Structure 1
Amino acid sequence: MRKISVGVIGLGKFGLSFAQALMDLRQEVVGLDSVPEHVRNAQDVLTQVYQGDAMDRKVLEQLNFADFGVVMVSVGQSIEASAMISLYLKELGAAQVWVKAVSQDHHKLLDRIGVDRVILPEHFAATQLAHSLVTPGLMACLPFDAGMALREITIDKWAGKTLRDLDMTNVHGAQVVAVRRHGESAYTYVPRADMLFARGDVMVVLGSTEALEKMKA
């Protein structure tokens, strides 16, 4: 499993849960919050926790938050705060800025700022619940344990080969569940064994995190 350093700004319910899940995956997580109670709750959970105002650009600079591999911004219902913090992080050169949004309009604003990923937890949870109600037994979101993952892999040296040639299950202990052709946006699910790959195609592979990290397509 690859190691990443993650900064989490805002240690309320979502932010702390996200940070704790990363700690369970043996990652380095540094938290920042202006609320003393949130800082206390996170002190024994995360690698390091700071109390400070992330709306102050100097605080982000002094704590080197732009140096993390990913920074998650989860500052409750304040659209202004999340937008300003995200803007500061992008200006400081943060590699990946992820933000929890509270509405579709908030999502649009964050897109304009140029954040790398926007999360709407309530929308995601509601969608999963609707699927489980309409189609009982459908596992819309697989409950993977820490040792399993899905990964998108872009084809390079495997160009010109088929799934039968690659024999993913026996050679890599993994399974290809979907394929997206180069230049297209739609996925083909449960691809045929005789599907021929071209350079730039993308396959979605299910397997152990260790096997996926070693895989070079």
Structure 2
Amino acid sequence: MANRKEVGVIGLGKFGYALAAALTDLGHDVVGVDRNPDNVRRAQGKLAQVYECDATDEKALGQVGFKDLEKVIVSTGSSMEASILVVLNLQTLGVRDIWVKAISEEHERVLYKLGVPYVVFPEAFVAFQLAHRLTMPGIHDYFGLGTDVVTREILVDKWAGKTLRDLDLTNKFHVQVIAYRKNGEAVFSFVPDANMEFTEGDVIVLIGKTDDMIKIEKF
């Protein structure tokens, strides 16, 4: 596939394994890590590479090649301490595109303070979607704007120091920035000013057509 990625998944429990399997089915190369041998055995027939490894050990994590991966998802179960230590190890190895499954609001706040760009609450996210679908029958997404309208979060890297006016994404790619979150903050702000300057580690949210979103990869 044209957009094939190498993705690491740390923690192959219910959520981690399901996500790793879904990424594999989408055509991506997934490297899985877990210290539970049963979880490792279950994933070996599905994922590209699977290692029995304690990801809280920085040296061990480096030895299985995580420093070379484009994206890493951390899903370490119910231990907030283990999750934070894994994140610190990944950051030391130079991994920037880190997604973490949070287990509490306190955990979420700490992760954002550490500079983690993407934090997810799977249960809360599904519950929120279901509540909207139950109370507004026929609505299958947040926007109801069509099947080819998507949102996308982008971690600011090479766009650091630029403003929305400089980037001119609407005219160049027909997408619109609808929200942003400054590096280290947990809450999104909406409708950014065209002259606001982005810094490295900020996250911006775009809305537009799928094909237009893909074109941004090379910008």
Pairwise TM-score range, normalised by the shorter structure: 0.7 to 0.9
Q: How does 1:1-217 map to 2 (within 5 A)?
A: 1-140=2-141, 150-151=151-152, 179-180=177-178, 185-187=189-191, 204-208=207-211, 212-214=213-215
Contact 1:152 1:204 in 2 (8 A): no
Secondary structure at the aligned position of 1:213 is classed as: helix
TM superposition outliers: structure 1 runs of 4+ over 3 Å: 147-161, 178-182, 200-203, 214-217
The Cα shift of 1:18 comes to 1.0
Contact 2:151 2:205 in 1 (8 A): no
Contact 1:66 1:95 in 2 (8 A): no
Structure 2 residue runs without a partner (length 5+): 155-163, 181-187, 198-203
Q: 1:57–1:157: structure 2 CA closer, same or farther, 3 Å change rule? A: closer
Q: 1:92–1:186: structure 2 CA closer, same or farther, 3 Å change rule? A: same
CA distance in 2, matches of 1:52, 1:129: 36
Q: 1:116–1:181: structure 2 CA closer, same or farther, 3 Å change rule? A: closer
Contact 1:7 1:72 in 2 (8 A): yes
The Cα shift of 1:108 comes to 0.9
Q: 1:141–1:41: structure 2 CA closer, same or farther, 3 Å change rule? A: farther
Letter in 2 for 1:206: K
Contact 1:10 1:75 in 2 (8 A): yes
Contact 1:10 1:31 in 2 (8 A): yes
Letter in 1 for 2:63: Q
Letter in 2 for 1:33: D
CA distance in 2, matches of 1:213, 1:132: 28
- The residue that corresponds to 1:191 in the other structure is none
CA distance in 2, matches of 1:159, 1:38: 43
Structure 1 residue runs without a partner (length 5+): 169-174, 189-196
What are the Cα deviations for residues 31-79 of structure 1, in whole angstroms up to 9, with x where unaligned? 0001111111111111100001111111111112122111111011011
Q: 1:61–1:203: structure 2 CA closer, same or farther, 3 Å change rule? A: closer
What are the Cα deviations for residues 168-197 of structure 1, in whole angstroms up to 9, with x where unaligned? 8xxxxxx86x55499x94259xxxxxxxx9
CA distance in 2, matches of 1:14, 1:149: 23
Contact 2:11 2:76 in 1 (8 A): yes
Give the percent of matched residue pairs that are identical in Structure 1 and Structure 2: 42
Q: 1:107–1:212: structure 2 CA closer, same or farther, 3 Å change rule? A: closer
Q: Looking at CA atoms only, which structure, 1 or 2, has the larger radius of gyration?
A: 1
Letter in 2 for 1:140: D
Letter in 1 for 2:41: R
Contact 2:150 2:207 in 1 (8 A): no
Secondary structure at the aligned position of 2:108 is classed as: helix
The Cα shift of 1:140 comes to 2.5
Letter in 1 for 2:66: F
How many residue pairs align between the two structures?
A: 191
CA distance in 2, matches of 1:42, 1:56: 21
